[in-house]
Chains A and B, each alone.
Chain A
Amino acid sequence: MSADRHVRLRELLAERLDAPLPAREAADLEAHLAACPACRVVERDYAALHEQLRALSAIDPPRDLWARTRAAIDHEVAREGRRPFPAPTLELDRPGAHRQLRVAIGSLVGVLVVLLLVGGPLAQGPLPEVASATPFAIPRQQLAFLDIADGQLTLYRADVAQVCPPPGISCAAGPSSRPVVRLGGGVAARELALGGGGHLFIAGRDPLGEEIFAIVALPVAPSPEPTSSPTIGPDGSAPPSTQTEPTEPTHTATEPLVEPSGDPTATPTVMPTDGPDETPGTGSDAPSIIPSPTSGQPATAEAHPILSAMRGTGAPAAWSPDGTILALSAMPADGSAGSDVYTWRPGDEQAVPLTSDHRSTFASWAGDRIVVSRIAAADDASADAAALTTTTVVIDPTSGEERAVELADAWLPSVDPTRHWVVYWQGRLEAQEEAVMPAGGRLFIAGWSAIDPWAADDAAAAAAAVASASPSGVPVTSPGDHPVASDAPPLGPEPTATVAPAPTPGDAGGADERPAPAGSPSGSPSLSGSPDASLALDQPRAASGSTSDWVVRWSTTGTAYGIWTRVDREEAGGTLIVRSVPSATNPEGEVLVAPTPAQRSFAVGADRVVWVTPLPGGDGELWVASWGELGNGSLRLRTLDSAEALLAF
């Protein structure tokens, strides 16, 4: 038999895998195989290849693929000179302009989808995992966000109760979001903190361009509609009951929801809602500090300044866990002095200075105390005049007593709500007149319990409380224990005593790291801790790449944290990532939300994060992703009129 004949028959072997051969060729092939052992080997090889190739599984796309793709398409739309169109399956807030168009698109899409699914052999084949976008329920949680509507800063409310499996694109029924309060005064906000018994803090600029720090007294109105969906409050667990009491279940739609209060110091009035939410499934039985939407126009409210002629410094302002104290830091707008920490309580006319050294910057809350970063005094400064050294203190805002934390050269430590963990920045700080500017460094995560200077007091207080409640009078907590250690996650091996972040050579930003201070070879903070110091983390771990601008936000359970970073302040946007805290099995922490383009403002709830993806043309897109026990999911909530929208759970 000629070589050409062999080649031809081997081609038939391959062709036979794709389609039946004509009878004559099939017979020829079988006859040839019977007499050609080598050809039978080839036949077996082809069959094995066929099986192996078909066994290759799908490769999951990155979570943000649709967000990127959609942004690119929107860019294309904008390039064509038109505005992006809303997705057909998303319930938007401005139905008037687009409802008919949406229906038309939906019909066309529906026809096409039917054709794609049942239109014949060309449409057949297994649908990949991505095809499933059936939403699943997650515990309901209310989200507030500030966006521009009709040129006015407007507070919206959305009830987030479902997401789609990754990569979620648009659930069959996205949640609606409603404008609930319009803020007068032409404020351009850059910072939002929701809490304080119905008080909203905003920082931004007034119409004259001056920085303002203001409080808005929100009306508080629980929605009376019961729901079968589990609901979590702003703290991620049971909704707070101290701020509102259930009111009459139903009211007329014309009844005003909001009674704007001109006095920010007044206790917000609890106002009833106008009845069930118009959107099925979005009602909530949880009292909330976020007002319920009305069927008419949103209420209006005024922002009342609590600081003037100042500019913001440090971490974003934040409410104490019980919502009774707002902490922030600011410095004179004219640069005449450095930063100090201020507090504001309902009833205060103005924010009250907590420090007066002009070197203190608000970092975070650690329970009901305030963590402060402080620049070393001039005579303490290192030989490197351009660089600054820092200390960390924790201040009791009631007594004013402060205690130092053994966390050297950390900047703006952010302590988690359970006080187990701290994320801080370490790098090079530079002085620009009286302001302090991070010039290059990285974020680290470390254990907080062991370095909390108030831990022993709290433990003793807790032990005393238990002892007084115990008939035997025997304390169940030893004085050395931290009170929160009892609900700590599973511990890893016994941690070593003193540890250090050890940036690896070649790490971005390594060149900008501060030189090692005396006594600490690696320039690390010293975490000389007790055995429960760092849980599963025996040394601080890098939590970011090089950055000079960042925001850290913790989940309300303290089990996850979101980090938004950008390499330098000139960048338009940044990157958001959410990780779980370190565990014995995963010291790095699990990546719960992969790095995604995001604007600076984001919010983390108990099991979810919400952020704004910038779109070409200045718009934004509001996304939520969750990582609860039901699995990971995400959902595009809506487009926004401004990529600078501010978010809060």
Chain B
Amino acid sequence: MLARSVALRGQADMTRDRATARAVVEELFRLHGGEIYSYLARMVRDDELAADLAQETFVKAYRAFDSLEEPSRARAWLYQIANRTALDELRRRKIVRFVPWTGESRGSARSAEEIALHGRLSAEMERALAAIPERQRGALLLAEVHDLTGLELAAALGVSHVAARALLTRARESLRQALALERARSAERDAAKTARPERAEDDR
């Protein structure tokens, strides 16, 4: 009888723990679901896939809830899961294609020139981001777009603080070069567009 009641109590504790995990993960989704999705969407450049990975991230968070020791680190912990999930998926799928970007044009109304300029900057930036190594992309997004710094960034990347800084430094240089390349390509395309009508005029 004693053994049975101990077992039942153990099960009750376990049930309560899992219920807690379930509730906390829901709360974490409410707080961070949007930014986790946003991060994954930029990492994998595929909205549907990002949604799948976001779902997977939170399921993993539920499974691994016991590994969350400090509630104050929950955000970095979620990003760590999301980052690993994204890198695993990218490795598996070898996604390198560029997906036209959507969802960038929220906020206050802007002039047509601003929209065009912003669109172009965004497109070049998105292509450049897509061109750099995935781990570097993750580091840049986490640091610049999602405001992770210091130990939080290191935790999310799953590396030491020193390694995280080094990765971020390399990422900035990679992005700088990739963006320069993108701009050169854009300039070439613009030049080709300009030249085409002139040539047609000459032919006439």
Contact = CB atoms under 8 A, between A and B. Distances in A.
B197 interface: no
Contact of B173 (A10, A62, A77): A10
B150 A69 contact: no
Interface stretch (B2-10, B50-58, B85-93): B50-58
Nearest to A113: B27
A502 to B, nearest CB: 26
Contacts of A84: 22
Contact of A122 (B23, B58, B73, B172): B73
Contact of A73 (B30, B62, B74): B62
Most B CB within 10 A of own CB, among A80, A106, A122, A130: A122
A281 interface: no
A122 B145 contact: no
B75 A15 contact: no
A49 B172 contact: yes
Interface residues of B, number: 68
Interface in B145-160: 145-152
Contacts of B54: 61, 65, 69
A57 interface: yes
Nearest to B153: A18
B121 to A, nearest CB: 6
A72 interface: yes
Nearest to B31: A131
Contact of B34 (A54, A61, A101, A170): A61
A61 B26 contact: no
B201 interface: no
Interface string A29-63: 00000000000001001100110111011111110
B104 A56 contact: yes
Contacts of A61: 33-34, 37-38, 51, 54
Contacts of A119: 71-72
Contacts of A170: 26, 30
A116 interface: yes
Nearest to B56: A72
A77 B18 contact: yes
B144 to A, nearest CB: 4
Contacts, number: 189
A80 B34 contact: no
A606 interface: no
Contact of B75 (A45, A52, A125): A125
B19 A85 contact: yes
B186 interface: no
A101 B35 CA distance: 30
A169 B106 CA distance: 22
Nearest to B30: A169
Given A57-B104, A72-B55, A109-B23, A128 B72 contact: no
Interface residues of A, number: 65
A115 B71 contact: yes
A50 B175 CA distance: 11
A126 interface: yes
Nearest to A124: B147
Interface string A124-155: 11111111010000000000000000000000
B30 A130 contact: yes
B103 interface: yes
Interface string A364-388: 0000000000000000000000000
A319 B101 CA distance: 46
A18 B137 CA distance: 16
Contact of B144 (A53, A59, A169): A53
Contact of B145 (A53, A69, A108, A129): A53
Nearest to A70: B26
A333 interface: no
Contacts of A50: 144
Contact of B25 (A11, A73, A125): A73
A343 B35 CA distance: 54
B51 A122 contact: no
A628 to B, nearest CB: 21
17 contacts: A49-B172, A53-B125, A53-B140, A57-B103, A59-B50, A61-B37, A69-B29, A72-B58, A105-B19, A106-B23, A109-B20, A109-B23, A116-B75, A122-B152, A125-B148, A130-B30, A130-B34
Interface of A: 10-11, 14-15, 17-19, 42, 45-46, 49-50, 52-54, 56-62, 65-66, 68-70, 72-73, 76-77, 80, 82, 84-85, 87-88, 101, 104-106, 108-109, 111-113, 115-116, 119-131, 133, 167, 169-170
Given A52-B125, A56-B42, A72-B59, 16 more contacts: A14-B169, A53-B144, A59-B41, A59-B102, A61-B34, A69-B55, A69-B58, A72-B56, A87-B23, A113-B27, A119-B72, A121-B152, A125-B146, A125-B148, A130-B34, A133-B30
Interface of B: 15-16, 18-20, 22-35, 37-38, 41-42, 47, 50-51, 54-56, 58-59, 62-63, 71-76, 102-104, 106-107, 121-122, 125, 140-141, 143-152, 165, 168-169, 172-173, 175-176, 179-180
